[in-house]
Amino acid sequence: MSTTLKQLPEGYKIRPMEPTDYSVLKILEVLTTVGSISEEQFSLQVEEWKLNDRIYNPLVVTNNNDDVVACGMLFVEFKLIHELGKVGHIEDIAVRSDQQGLQLGKHLILALTEIARSKGCYKVILDCDEKNVGFYQKCGYSVAGVEMSIRFDK
């Protein structure tokens, strides 16, 4: 790791996302469109992830008021290559805009990376904008390739 990591601020915690963490949706709006999702739909999705916890590992950061202030996802892909190897994928890291500068994103990346390691993944990958390469390098990641995408019209 090329930079030191401060401790989480007092009272802040990292824990698995729960079906009651509906406020996660507000946090995700810093990333992209979230759209209309009811509390019930949210709970069902998180419960489904929990039933598939070999694959899905969503985390949240809560503050000293127990409000969710950041979130992130690790999912684990089961492959054939590398002797039935597993690869972790980090997705949808979001930090509430008034919580920048507390290294919450870095804490999340390191926690998700550690889950992947403990589950036996041989690597973790993620895709980011060019401007965030430096941040992920400080989290121990290296540039590995090019992300390509195709979007479908609705």
Q: Which positions touch a copy of itself (CB under 8 A)?
A: 24-25, 28, 31-37, 41-42, 45, 48-49, 55-56, 73, 75, 77-84, 89, 91-92, 113, 116-117, 121-130, 133, 136-137, 139-152, 154
Distance CA 22, CA 91 (A): 18
CB proximity list for 136: less than 8 A, separation 6 or greater: 109, 126, 128
Pick between residue 16 and residue 89 the one whose CB is nearest to a copy of itself: 89
Distance CA 11, CA 109 (A): 19
Distance CA 48, CA 53 (A): 9
What is the distance in angstroms between the CA of the first residue and the CA of the last residue of the chain? Answer: 42
Q: Smallest distance, Å, CB 38 to a copy of itself?
A: 10
CB proximity list for 120: less than 8 A, separation 6 or greater: 86
Pick between residue 6 and residue 117 the one whose CB is nearest to a copy of itself: 117
Q: Smallest distance, Å, CB 8 to a copy of itself?
A: 21
Pick between residue 58 and residue 103 the one whose CB is nearest to a copy of itself: 58
Pick between residue 10 and residue 148 the one whose CB is nearest to a copy of itself: 148
Phi, psi of 12 (to 5 degrees): -80, 145
Q: Smallest distance, Å, CB 102 to a copy of itself?
A: 22
Q: Smallest distance, Å, CB 81 to a copy of itself?
A: 5
